[in-house]
Chains A and B, each alone.
Chain A
Amino acid sequence: MSEKLLSVEGLKVYYFTSGGTVKAVDKVDFSLYRGEALGIAGESGCGKSTLGYGLINLVPPPGRIVDGHILIDNVDVAKLNESDLRKKVRWRKISMVFQGAMNALTPVYTIGKQLAEPLTIHTAISYKEALNKVQEILPLVGLSPEIIRRYPHELSGGMKQRVMIAMALILNPDIIIADEPTTALDVIVQAQILNLLKKLRRELGVTLILISHDLSIMAEVVDRLMVMYAGKVAELGKSDVIFSAPSHPYTQGLIASIPKLGEKKLNYIPGLPPDLRNPPVGCRFADRCPMVMDICRKEEPPFFEIAKEHFVSCWLYR
């Protein structure tokens, strides 16, 4: 594979709530290579969004990064102070399209102003120059440049999501994180946004991290897939391999539960994920696993590399 852009080592992100410490991301390791698309999949509450926030060191309180390293260009993002993060990392190196962010556009500013503002703050250019730059970027995301004079309420959901993607692109970052970019969009608009992500990868060489619960969307876009369960990585590998032959029982369950067009079957994984304030000893999936063994309840499984670049955290592959 090509150049390593990002490497995450032993990352822990916890939320310190009054009810106890929620271990939302618990010792996660992975790398991201230039030009690839990595998917982070899992059920609600598995820590996939928290991991996304963690990567730009923007975990909402009461959460914070407790331990681990996030290395971008040999700089540890996890250790940087807020001002350096703003000046050097966020949106310059790595930007994020937040979940539901299209509803966070302020209704009182034009689209042009909202897109130009970060440029004037982060670079030394004037507002007028910034607006010109915005007009250059808008066609890349499939919007007409005249849209800078419009207000958010004049745009459809799909157009607003395109504005958010333009905003993520505006400082020309290496990496873009897209957190559930198509949730709440209609199926046709969803297909259009996915096509846009594909186009940006092809034409601009954008490196993408896609966070979603929907494995069908993942299959449409990503080269490698990371499946998370209860704050841990369950399986990580090439998406071709994972979709055709999933190895972790959890991934197998997830893939079997993808609803298929024209079938009358409804599959699901019975049970609920564990309480992350008090995760079980051993494998966190043990209670729902159809292939559970004695060791699973005693010891946490390490990562087994079952094939090149294919990691599974399950005692079956010991």
Chain B
Amino acid sequence: MMATTDIKELVKNIDQNNLMIVRELKKYFPIRSGFTDFIFRRPSRFVRAVDNIDFDIPKGKIFALVGESGCGKTTTGMTLIRLYNPTGGHVLFEPKEDTLKDLREISNGRIMEYDGYIDLATIPGKWLKPLRRDLQIVFQDPYSSLNPAYKVYDILEEPMKVHGIGDSKDERYDMVLKALEEVKLVPAEDIANRFPHMLSGGQRQRVVLARALLLNPKFIVADEPIAMIDVSLRAEILITLLDLKEKHNISILFITHDLTLAGNISEYIAVMYLGKIVEMGKSDVVIKKPLHPYTKALIKAIPTPDPSMRKKMKDIWIKGEVSSAVNIPEGCRFHPRCMAYEEHPEIQAKCRESEPQLIEVEKGHYVSCWLYK
């Protein structure tokens, strides 16, 4: 599956304000076919987890990807940093100078460069190692992302050893302590000598954050980083994350199911439904003036801390359940659940037959819905 956008067209006018430029990104997972499928030559089927999405992540900003479970938000994050190999599309990324130098060396100068940007989606896996420093991830579950047999110090030293950072053990030890202090894990020496089981969920997530920061990344995927943390500690971790982002000028792809949280911390929001971005824009605009019926439904469903409404039923502006990502509905993939579809008979034929594109309805505010065309 080749991307239809030609890379040469794409790189003609790169907006240097963006750290990442994602175009027509696709990630399909094949479904294992059985013996009878083989005999009857049934076509192979795919879970279309990420189905042709476009977005830009500006330098030093937080871009939130919001959606329900199964909408493809985590797959998008993992594909961007090549933990998955994309099925198609382009991801232009501007690595650090040093990283670019190492890339040239490792590839014997064969790496394609476009004004300092490279296409993450197409570079061969064996050239990825230097890029791992620039691209880091914080997973949702701090209980399973730290090796229980390693002390915190060893966990943090490991990536430095892999990437040849720090000349001696002493130097690396100092760097570990500094990183621990940066994520507000004090006294650092004490924490460094503990095993993960001796830390609380919040402390573990800070260790994960420290591990990501030690390699001095340019881009972090934060995949629901506070979903498994005690409520009372969430805000503290988020504030630490925001401070570090400012200090090191890191761009963050913040993956969450919580639109309120996305609005609290991010500059941009993209709402995903069944592998597609349905709405995207500045976070204030998307939250205060949502246009897509799905975004509206999500916002209406958020519980409000106002007890006077408790006698009334909450207005749920959506019907049915999420369709399967294997058999994505024809036309607009949201139309079987859409309430606006019910209210606007004049567009129903279009919704059923053709897929709406993500179009700019007002400056910087993108929606893919036939209501706005």
Contact = CB atoms under 8 A, between A and B. Distances in A.
B33 interface: no
Contact of A195 (B297, B311, B313, B321): B313
A215 B305 contact: yes
Given A186-B68, A198-B310, A265 B305 contact: no
Given A266-B238, A266-B239, A187 B305 contact: no
Contacts of A260: 260, 305
Interface string B55-75: 000000000000011000000
A257 B321 CA distance: 32
Nearest to B234: A268
A146 to B, nearest CB: 16
B309 interface: yes
B307 interface: yes
B258 interface: yes
A10 interface: no
Interface stretch (B5-13, B104-112, B123-131, B261-269): B261-269
Interface residues of B, number: 43
Contacts of A259: 260-261, 264
Nearest to B200: A272
Interface string B287-309: 11000000001111111111111
B165 interface: no
B182 interface: no
B284 interface: yes
B306 A219 contact: yes
Contacts of B1: none
Contacts of B300: 191
A219 B304 CA distance: 7
B264 A239 contact: no
A266 B235 contact: yes
B149 interface: no
Contacts of B113: none
B260 A198 contact: no
Contact of A262 (B258, B284, B308, B316): B284
B235 A191 contact: no
B232 interface: yes
B307 A194 contact: no
B305 A243 contact: yes
B284 A44 contact: no
A262 B313 contact: no
Contact of A188 (B68, B235, B288, B308): B68
Interface of B: 68-69, 230-236, 238-239, 257-261, 263-265, 284, 287-288, 297-311, 313-314, 316, 318, 321-322
Given A191-B303, A199-B313, A264-B263, 12 more contacts: A157-B69, A188-B318, A191-B316, A218-B307, A220-B310, A223-B310, A243-B306, A262-B288, A264-B265, A266-B235, A266-B238, A270-B236
Interface of A: 43-45, 156-158, 186-188, 190-192, 194-195, 198-199, 213-223, 239-240, 243, 255, 257-270, 272-273
User: Nearest 4 A-B pairs (CB), nearest first?
Assistant: A268-B235, A216-B303, A191-B301, A186-B68
